[in-house]
Amino acid sequence: GVMERLGLGPEVLLQENPRLIYARLTGFGQTGKYAKSAGHDINYLALSGVLSKLGRKNENPYAPVNLLADFAGGGVMCAMGIVVALFERARSGRGQVIDASMVEGVAYLSSFLWKSRNLGFWSKPRGENLLDSGAPFYETYKTSDGKFMAVGALEPHFYSQLIKGLGLNLDELPAQMSYSDWPEMKKKFASIFAQKTQAEWCSIFDGTDACVTPVLSFSDVALHQHNKERSSFIKNDQGEISPRPAPVLSRTPAVPSCKRDPFTGEHTEEILLEYGFTKQEIAKLYSEKAIEFKSPKANL
């Protein structure tokens, strides 16, 4: 209701411009019991059902920072809705309102979990299944130097290469999909990974299809050969590293800026003056805490 209170609700604006696409991104959506309630990523994730699937055996569910509901189920799904609406407008000539709920966005994002329930992927409690840290061949393991390796050797031909790299004999081990042996196999794998450094394991598994990769820190990620070859990370004029825009388009790829990110409120006065606000009006907005400046001593 914030935009309605400003007199800028979709009904008003669509009358002015019927081609307008009006995206409304909220946690719980525009209607329903929680529509006007406060919340954060963890709350939307909880209400979607997805949070119940995240976590290790015998531990509380955990939210992976705010990537899933806020950014994936919220921002990305809302952006996709805008693209779909733009595509539809090219046919109908009409705009529409997008009700982007983070709860529904992350729930839809998790469709695989719903659609695969009858395939046996999620038949066991949280943390005991194939892809949620239950399997010894889909897990992270600590190395002797305190770093980690990620293992994703799901298919039998990948699994056999994992076993070979670990120096084990496949014929002397339980069957890969023997669920009852998974806890002991995880202990065995963990003890072996703990005997070498991350760099040593990379040397063993690089060039194989064992699906074993290093867990890279933010400090290391831009230095990795694969990422360097693709220029996957960029450096700004302050020397700060960040991801390059993705995905990469063949004909019109994004041209990333190498300037530092602006400070909060850094260009507030400049932009408002450009749009015709007077310095007196800007000062009033600032005094009413409607806007922010980089410094409280703005030059008004």
Which of the residues are catalytic?
40, 70
Burial 99-131 (b: 16+ CB within 10 A, else e): bbbbbbbbbebbeebeeeeeeeebeeebbbbbe
Rounded CA-CA distance 231/243 in Å is 9
Rounded CA-CA distance 175/163 in Å is 12
Asked if 46 and 103 count as a contact pair (C-beta separation under 8 A), the reply is: no
Q: Reduce the DSSP state of residue 140 to 3 states and report it.
A: strand
| HSE toward the beta carbon, residue 158, CA cutoff 13 A | 12
Check the CA dihedral 167-169-175-176 and report its sign.
Answer: positive
Rounded CA-CA distance 102/41 in Å is 8
